Structure 1
Amino acid sequence: MLKKLIAATLYTALSLGAIPATALDLSTAAALREGSLQKLGFHSEPKEVSALPFTDGDGAEETLADYQGQWVLLNFWATWCAPCRKEMPALDALSAEFEDQGLTVLPIATGHNPRPAVERFLKEAEITSLPLHLDATGAMARDMGVLGLPVTVLISPEGQEVARMTGDAEWFSPSAQAIVRQLLQETATTDQ
């Protein structure tokens, strides 16, 4: 009975604006997972992300903190990883579709991936919307608990990991697009 009373009080306070509702409700996005996206595991509590740097295509250091304020689909991959190569065109299409709406698709080639090999793969695969980023030593990937490739991490605009998937997925499927639209809509609603 006490739990119901507390829940009713919190609900009333939230609906009246006494307690600001800042937490995103990811349950609707999670319910949209179909096909290969069913492997995308949403966390019950957000997790901190690595503060370690990686480099951009010009060799300048960046961190994930540079991307706060937008949704980030962080993808750890490697040129020698067949599933990584397979999903890259779908990630490219997802980036092209949503890059101006608040989603950044951030692929980071981790470990032994010489820059010329990464550039060659991106050119051969006709990847046009994804930037070149490197985690040459693999330190950032290790700090993020990446044990195999590919690993894709969904990071909220607040800079926290909210979902993760190991293995490849069809990132431009109707399910993936619906999840992204829901997240963007949820953020727009929360910001109002």
Structure 2
Amino acid sequence: MLRSLALYTSLLIAANAAVAGPVDWQAARDAGLPKLIESEAVPVPEIEFTDLDGGTHRLADWKGKVVLLNFWATWCAPCREEMPSLDALQKAKGGEDFEVLTVASGRNTEAAINRFFQESGVTDLPTLTDPQMALARAFGVMAMPVTILIDAEGREVARMTGDADWSSPAALALVDQMLAE
């Protein structure tokens, strides 16, 4: 009972935009994102990646926004579990100040990516790809899924290996805190 009260209290504090300041990473872990690890704030790599329409991108294209960058693959079972919550987070918070970017890393055909999104009910996420895994390697991604949180200045500030419920109150509060910084 006391533990539940502490978790809900930390979640409430984290969600309160009036308590602007540094992100409370421990509160986020306690509230439901236990594998989240704070990173030393370092600039993200300037590696090109693509989309299914043939366009090229760099993470600098999103500078000025908080970005939740997710590396995934069509063959990844935890990715299949996680993707609907990433889509829900984009629907709830995506816009001028925040974006969820999902990057299919490695050999993922266009047909497989489209099928994966359709079967998962994903409608609001971009179809970005990193076929040679250059971006994933630059971030040191060794398994999937991996999610990197990037601040509005274009620096990695936290990461999580493994799947999570990104539409949970803990994740929503974390995004609110990052936006209030």
Task: Report the TM range for the smaller structure's normalisation.
Answer: 0.7 to 0.9
Q: Where is the helix percentage greater, Structure 1 or Structure 2?
A: 1
From 28, 36, 40, give the equivalent of 2:36: 40
> What does residue 151 of structure 1 align with?
146
Q: For this pair of structures, how many residues does the alignment match?
A: 162
In 1, the alpha carbon distance for the partners of 2:151 and 2:140 equals 18
**TM-score, normalization: structure 1?**
0.80
**TM-score, normalization: structure 2?**
0.84
From 56, 62, 67, give the equivalent of 2:57: 62
- Kindly report which structure 2 residues correspond to 1:100-179, keeping only aligned pairs within 5 A, or say none: 100=95, 102-179=97-174
Following superposition, the deviation at residue 28 of structure 1 comes to: 2.5
From 73, 77, 100, give the equivalent of 1:82: 77
Amino acid at match of 2:33: L
Return 5+ residue gaps in structure 2 as ranges.
1-19
What secondary structure, in the 3-state scheme, does the structure 2 residue paired with 1:90 have?
A: helix
In 1, the alpha carbon distance for the partners of 2:176 and 2:109 equals 35
Amino acid at match of 1:39: K
Return 5+ residue gaps in structure 1 as ranges.
1-23, 187-192
- Kindly report which structure 2 residues correspond to 1:20-39, keeping only aligned pairs within 5 A, or say none: 25-34=21-30, 36-39=32-35
Asked if the contact 1:33/1:179 (under 8 Å) is kept, the reply is no
Asked if the contact 2:130/2:136 (under 8 Å) is kept, the reply is yes
Following superposition, the deviation at residue 170 of structure 1 comes to: 0.8
Following superposition, the deviation at residue 25 of structure 1 comes to: 4.5
Instruction: Please report the RMSD computed on the Cα atoms of aligned residues, expressed in angstroms.
Output: 1.6
Q: Percent identity?
A: 49
Amino acid at match of 1:120: R
Larger radius of gyration: 1
Asked if the contact 2:86/2:166 (under 8 Å) is kept, the reply is yes
